[in-house]
Amino acid sequence: MDKLTTVDGRAYPFGMKNVDTDIVIPAHWLKTISRAGLGRGAFEVLRKEPGNVFDDPEYAGSPILIAGDNFGCGSSREHAAWALGDLGIKVVIAPSFSDIFSGNAFKNGILTVVLPQDAIDRLMEVAKSDPIHVDLEQQSVTTQYQDRFHFEIDPFRKHCLLGGLDEIGLTLDEADVIDAFEAKDAVSRPWLVPAVA
């Protein structure tokens, strides 16, 4: 996984609320068996509308997406995170996210930043003409106009994103505690292994 420290660049001033993962990537794109190439399907339905931000050359290749409340609700499809990643998005900023989406985004090296609505409104304004700067180490979103918004992030997620660390590898390093749990469990819950029909 790539390290994520600072992200500097234009942001899509998207702003839509309750964007479910069907909007991020429609179901017919879920038939892939590989992670690459899904950016072509990102926001497919919205992109049929003329003047949508995703096809506006002004924002082409922006690494930041600004959205409304409850971004990524609905289906748990991780394809939503892959599609955003494939589109080149490294940071999504919104007032709130669905739990599943923000987990999926993190696991794919995408940072989700929660900021209050007034900060979002301000960033939406700035995004129309100027870049936005996200600093994970400092936990801040800043603009060239002296705006500075602090955000919270889980320290473990921060550590992993900064270091580009693979979560599975980290857990496998602790195989001994899992072994110990299973040994204890085999005694206390002997019924756990499914009967073989």
Partner 1 sequence: MVKPRTLYEKIWDAHVVERRPDGTCLIYIDRHLVHEVTSPQAFEGLRLAGRKVRRPDLTLAVPDHNLPTTPRRDADGHRIPIADPESAQQLAALERNAPEFGVRLIGDADPEQGIVHVVGPEQGFTLPGTTLVCGDSHTSSHGALGALAFGIGTSEVEHVLATQTLLLKQSKTMQVVVEGELGYGVTPKDVALAICGTIGTAGGTGYVMEYRGSVFRDMSIEGRLTVANMSIEAGARSGLFAPDEKTFAYIEGRPMAPKGADWDAAVAWWKTLHTDEGATFDKTVVIDAADIVPNVTWGTSPEDVVPVTGVVPDPESFADASKRAAAQKSLDYMGLSAGQKMEDVAIEHVFIGSCTNSRIEDLRAAAGLLKGRHIAAGIKHAMVVPGSGLVKRMAEAEGLDRIFLDAGFEWREPGCSACLGMNPDKVPAGERCASTSNRNFMGRQGPGSRTHLVSPEMAAAAALTGRLTDVRALMGEKEGMVA
Q: Which residues bind partner 1 (CB under 8 A)?
A: 17-18, 20, 22-23, 26-28, 30-35, 45, 68-70, 73-78, 81, 96, 98-100, 103-104, 107-108, 154-156, 167-169, 171-172, 174-175, 177-178, 181-182, 185, 189-197
Supply the minimum distance, in Å, between the C-beta of residue 46 and partner 1: 10
- Closest by alpha carbon to 65, among 40, 43, 84, 79? 84
Q: Which CB sits closer to partner 1, 59 or 106?
A: 106
Q: Return the number of the residue (50 or 189) whose C-beta is nearest partner 1.
A: 189
User: What DSSP assignment string belongs to 73-87?
Assistant: BS---THHHHHHHHT
Nearer to partner 1, 145 or 181 (CB): 181
- Quick one: 39 or 131, whose CB is closer to partner 1? 39
Nearest to partner 1 of 139, 142 (CB atom): 139
Q: How far is the CB of 94 from partner 1 (least distance, A)?
A: 12
Q: Do residues 4 and 162 lie in contact, with contact meaning Cβ atoms separated by under 8 Å?
A: yes
Closest C-alpha among 141, 167, 142, 144 to residue 152:
141
Q: How many CA atoms lie within 13 A of 77 on its CB side?
A: 24
Query: What minimum distance in Å lies between the beta carbon of 45 and partner 1?
Result: 6
Contact partners, residue 28, CB within 8 Å, separation at least 6: 41
Give me the least distance between CB of 136 and partner 1, in Å please.
16
**Residue written as token pair 């995703």:** 54
Q: How far is the CB of 31 from partner 1 (least distance, A)?
A: 3
Nearer to partner 1, 143 or 151 (CB): 151
| CB of residue 64 to partner 1, shortest distance in Å | 21
Which phi and psi (to 5°) does residue 95 adopt? Answer: -70, -30
Taking a C-beta distance cutoff of 8 angstroms, is the pair 107, 133 a contact?
Answer: no
Query: Please, are residues 129 and 155 in contact by the beta-carbon 8 Å criterion?
Result: no
CA distance 167 to 160: 8
